Amino acid sequence: MLSLSSTVAAFDQDRAFALLEAQCAFGPRNPNSDGHRMCGDFLVREMGFWTDTVWTQPFTYVSQDTKDTLELRNIVSQFNVKQKDRVILCAHWDTRPMADRDPNPANRHLPILGANDAASGVAVLIEVARQLHLQRVDIGVDIVFFDGEDYGREGVLEDYLLGSKHYVSRLAEPRPRFGVLLDMVGDRELRIPIEGNSWYYAKPIVDKIIAAAQRQKVSRIENRPGAPVMDDHVPFLEAGIPVIDLIDMDYAYLHTLHDTPANCSKYSLGDVGRTVLDMLRHEEIQK
């Protein structure tokens, strides 16, 4: 009999990749688009299969930059709803409305498909939810898909992180003790140094992830600090909740029309998924 610490965490990377492709099949998921609406409905249904409860947090945002009115919704699902000791796992599910880094200037006004940014993180967390359904943990787990993370023009910071800002501003007790954000974790050449804000402001949670990666023999998650990134974990850090960001910013197709499933890998999804599951399965309830 193998001990828990020496086993490989169950995680179906083929299914996770199929979930990445399923999101992309709706087309771009930028706010107010048909793809956004259809994919949101799909995610609610999918999480409803595996979690104890799922609900949406709709909200409206008006950009002072573009003057657009966005109809947004965070998608929230939970395990062990009555458990007060909770962990949050999260990703954003919207896609960028403009390919502003595309090498072809004619494409820069078009919305991106967003296979890595951010169908990858969502796909991993849906498969994590399925595994938690099959083999429960004792702690409370919240899995949240944030909307409106990637809406704004570069440099217009108020138009980013819309869903996570909204979610944190309305957090009720019990608040999560800590959390992990997944963003751009599907790159075929995945290497994840620890995002700078995570390293400096949530190091005990970094240590949990690094220990899990080492147990799972995952070398893609590296025990060294990387550059700080403005991402959906920042509103949590500002609220005193240590949430770390697993993100590979060294992605050649970032914010281009080439962010497609062909440039993603099931093996990358598998490494991240097994690491997150291992971390959860080693977490003990704190009274």
Q: What is the pLDDT of residues 53-73, one digit of tens each?
A: 999 999 999 999 999 999 999
Task: Note the pLDDT of residue 7.
Answer: 61
Q: What is the pLDDT of residues 203-257, one digit of tens each?
A: 999 999 999 999 999 999 999 999 999 999 999 999 999 999 999 999 999 999 9
First to last CA, the chain: 31
Q: Is the pLDDT of residue 4 over 80?
A: no
Q: Is the pLDDT of residue 5 over 70?
A: no
Coarse DSSP helix, strand, coil percentages of the chain, rounded to the nearest 5 percent: 40, 20, 45
Residue 272 is assigned to a structural domain of this protein:
yes
Cβ neighbours for 189, distance < 8 A, ≥ 6 positions apart: 250
Task: Note the pLDDT of residue 287.
Answer: 76
Across-strand partners of 76?
A: 55, 144
Cα 33 from chain centroid (whole Å)? 21
Residue 1 is assigned to a structural domain of this protein:
no
Residue 286 is assigned to a structural domain of this protein:
no
Residue 2 is assigned to a structural domain of this protein:
no
Q: Is the pLDDT of residue 189 over 90?
A: yes
Q: Is 183 helix (H, G, I), strand (E, B) or coil?
A: strand
Q: Is the bond into 118 cis (omega within 30 degrees of 0)? A: yes
Residue 245 is assigned to a structural domain of this protein:
yes
Residue 84 is assigned to a structural domain of this protein:
yes
Q: Is the bond into 111 cis (omega within 30 degrees of 0)? A: no
Residue 123 is assigned to a structural domain of this protein:
yes
Q: How many helices (H) and strands (E) does the chain have?
A: 8, 8
Q: Is the pLDDT of residue 9 over 90?
A: no
Phi and psi angles of residue 81, each rounded to the nearest 5 degrees, phi first: -60, -35
Q: What is the pLDDT of residues 123-181, one digit of tens each?
A: 999 999 999 999 999 999 999 999 999 999 998 989 999 999 999 999 999 999 999 99
Q: Is the pLDDT of residue 100 over 80?
A: yes
- Its domain, for residue 25, covers 9-281
Number of domains in the chain: 1
> Which CATH number belongs to the domain containing residue 176 in this structure?
3.40.630.10
Residue 102 is assigned to a structural domain of this protein:
yes
Q: How many C-beta neighbours within 10 Å does residue 172 have?
A: 5
